[in-house]
Amino acid sequence: MNCRSCGAPVSLPLLDLGTMPLANGLVDADVAPGTEPRYPLCVRVCTRCWLAQTDGGPAPELLFPANYPYLSGYSVTWREHARRYAHQMIARLGLGPSHRVIELATNDGSLLAEFAVRGIQCLGVEPAFVPAQAARERGLPIVEAFFGPDLAVALRDGDGGADLVVANNVLGHVPDPVGFARGVAILLRDHGVATFEFPALQCLVDGQQFDTVYHEHHSYFSLISVTHVLSQAGLRVFDLERLSVHGGSLRLYTERQSGPGRSVASAVADLLDCEQAAGVASPDWYGRLQPAADRVRRELLAFLHQARARGQVVGGYGAAAKGTTLLNWAGVGVGLLPWVVDRNPVKQGRLLPGCRIPVVAEQVLADAPPEYLLVLPWNLRREVIEQLARGGLTTILPVTAIPEVTIG
Ligand SMILES: [Zn+2]
């Protein structure tokens, strides 16, 4: 296996989850048990450029099929994040009707719409049909394709480049991050800015967030490793912010190396120093995630077995990819977790892959309140607690499993 960024052989183990079904590959209830495909899920680290990356994996067409069900607009937390991002970028870059924003992996358009309503020209690129269609229904122009340098050239030569390229939560999802970033550099106008957001590897390892590893995430970036990817693509980082979304993310502000040469904020050197001090550029630091995954599996199973022995029901909240990783890793089935609620009607009536747990509408929380609710997207814990309070469902105790089993 050669590094997706620098091409060196990759051998340092970070996490081995065995074989896993596709995290967002919900299955219909009438599909025979055990027939959904499983693929090895193993992350290794390149000790030359320190990029953590999956070992091969299924083709993009399998990972992001036409019926890919993830719609980001269902999360209140995400919608607020998108709104804040848009306000901030419009103010910082002085964007108006003469400017153009291109968002890569637009999903259902909930972020891009924040620019469109202010009269800014918008274009979205989204390879999956279901979210692309949801974005079109908001009136957004969408190119339904996988993004790379060829598409970037076609888009630039067609309608011109972009003053802002939004590449949030996508760089880790593509098999060739350098080619993707090269496409971003092609799309940028002379003074253009591209932002990249991604979960920070330091938060993943130190926060023991092993359930954020799934086949769709090919790369897990630190600032050290992503800087190497971006520089090969002709982009330079001139500022960054640390964000709380997805358990701790980074937002990088980049421009073309041939661009205006904005001064580099001190936050960039500060974070590089912080990563060096934490051990991101040393092999030992990467040895702590696998033992954490083993421990969480033991703790979660102990909690679920004890609840069942007491005759108590534990339901699940959020049929998110994280949940598929966690439940399949721990070997949790319907005997321990009879259902998972999800707001997205596209998911309801189907089963989580592998563990075969039914996805149901939220009404079950009011109709037959469980004693506990295991919040699979633990980053939405606060949102779920508020939702339960609003619904008068305060007898239901929320539970999260990462970084340790926490009840209430
Ligand atoms: Zn490398």
Question: In 3D, which of 224, 203, 223 has the Cα closest to residue 213?
Answer: 203
Q: How many domains does the chain have?
A: 2
d(CA 7, CA 29): 42
Would 10 be classed as within a structural domain? no
Distance from residue 113's CA to the centre of ligand 1 (Å): 36
**Same domain, residue pair 195 and 253:** yes
Same domain, 149 and 260: yes
Instruction: Please write the tens of the pLDDT for every residue from 252-295.
Output: 999 999 999 999 999 999 999 999 999 999 999 999 999 999 99
321 Cα–ligand 1 center, Å:
26
Residue 175 CA to ligand 1 center (angstroms) comes to: 14
Q: Which long-range contacts (C-beta less than 8 Å, at least 24 apart) are formed by 380-384?
A: 380/75, 380/77, 380/318, 382/77, 383/75, 383/76, 383/77, 384/317, 384/318
Same domain, 165 and 119: yes
107: CB partners within 8 A, 6+ apart = 70, 71, 72, 73, 126, 131, 134, 135
Question: Is 338 among the domain residues?
Answer: yes
Residues 111-146: tens digit of each pLDDT:
999 999 999 999 999 998 888 999 999 999 999 999
pLDDT in tens, 158-212: 988 999 999 999 999 999 999 999 999 999 999 999 999 999 999 999 999 999 9
Distance from the alpha carbon of residue 55 to the mean position of ligand 1, in angstroms: 13
What is the pTM (predicted TM-score) of this model? 0.90
Last residue of a domain, one of 236, 266, 286: 286
Beta pairing, strands 340-341 & 314-317: parallel
- The domain boundary, picked from 286, 316, 346, lies at 286
Whole domain around residue 366: which residue ranges?
A: 289-407
Over range 307-322, report the average pLDDT.
96
Picking from 262, 286, 310, the residue at the C-terminal end of a domain is 286
| Rounded (to 5) percent helix, strand, coil in the chain | 40, 25, 40
Give residue 273 CA to ligand 1 midpoint distance, Å.
20
Tally DSSP H helices, then E strands, for the chain: 13, 19
Residues 208 and 322 in one domain: no
Distance 369 CA to ligand 1 centre (A): 49
Ligand 1 centroid to residue 182 C-alpha, Å: 17
Concatenated DSSP letters of 291-359? HHHHHHHHHHHHHHHHHHHTT--EEEE---HHHHHHHHHHT--TTT---EE-S-TTTTTEE-TTT-PBE
Residue with tokens 């960039």: 268
Distance from Cα 223 to the centre of ligand 1, integer Å = 13
Of 17 and 77, the one with more pLDDT: 17
Query: So what's the pLDDT on residue 400?
Result: 97
286 CA from centroid of ligand 1 (Å): 15
How remote is the CA of residue 5 from the centroid of ligand 1, in Å?
A: 5
User: How many Å lie between the centroid of ligand 1 and the Cα of residue 176?
Assistant: 12
